[in-house]
A and B are shown apart, each in its own frame.
Chain A
Amino acid sequence: GAVVSQHPSWVICKSGTSVKIECRSLDFQATTMFWYRQFPKQSLMLMATSNEGSKATYEQGVEKDKFLINHASLTLSTLTVTSAHPEDSSFYICSAPRKGDITNEKLFFGSGTQLSVL
């Protein structure tokens, strides 16, 4: 079945370094990828929507220069947290509908990345 593979699952990094998170759609093509951040005991907060071959759309309050998103192909989207700081520590998760599904009724979620910035 369709799966979104997300890596890494866990990452611990020093303050000031950059971290790249990858989400790959397996067995299906994803024109769109939603990137969420989830703080402990809180809901999924949409950060940005990446679109294959074009610039990502960022939600209000999300710094596009800090959270770099690239959607280079129909199966790969990446989120890079640049110059990470402790306040960026969070659970990051991606999800994607199948290519052509604009209804978003069937979203495939990655397994999430727990980022801890020391």
Chain B
Amino acid sequence: GENVEQHPSTLSVQEGDSAVIKCTYSDSASNYFPWYKQELGKRPQLIIDIRSNVGEKKDQRIAVTLNKTAKHFSLHITETQPEDSAVYFCAARDSNYQLIWGAGTKLIIKP
């Protein structure tokens, strides 16, 4: 079955700098990759997603890139702000339409 690995587990960046979180997946049949942001004790919120027929997608300060050959995808946040501090989860949708989640990355934005 699908396995998703996410790195790093914790990322600390200076406010204004960029942050990059990477995920790898194992099932080449997976075709949908969302990223969720979760603040402490709250529900995850979808921030961006990408389908396998696209290599990159951008939404203001947030972008996601997908390399199908290498089976990895990354979240890029530019010009980080304090409100970007949260836990970010990647996921891959397998051939049964189930989302398989990464372990999460705690992003800390230092003022």
Contacts and interface: CB of A to CB of B under 8 A. Distances in A.
A39 B49 CA distance: 25
Interface residues of A, number: 19
Interface in A78-107: 91, 93, 102-107
Interface in A19-64: 41-46
Contacts, number: 44
Interface of A: 41-46, 91, 93, 102-107, 109-112, 114
Given A102-B97, A103-B97, A104-B98, A42 B43 contact: no
B97 to A, nearest CB: 5
A101 B19 CA distance: 33
Interface string B36-48: 0000011111100
B97 A43 contact: no
Contacts of A43: 89, 101-104
B101 A44 contact: yes
Contact of B43 (A41, A105, A110): A110
Contacts of A110: 43
Contacts of A103: 32, 93, 97
Contacts of A45: 101
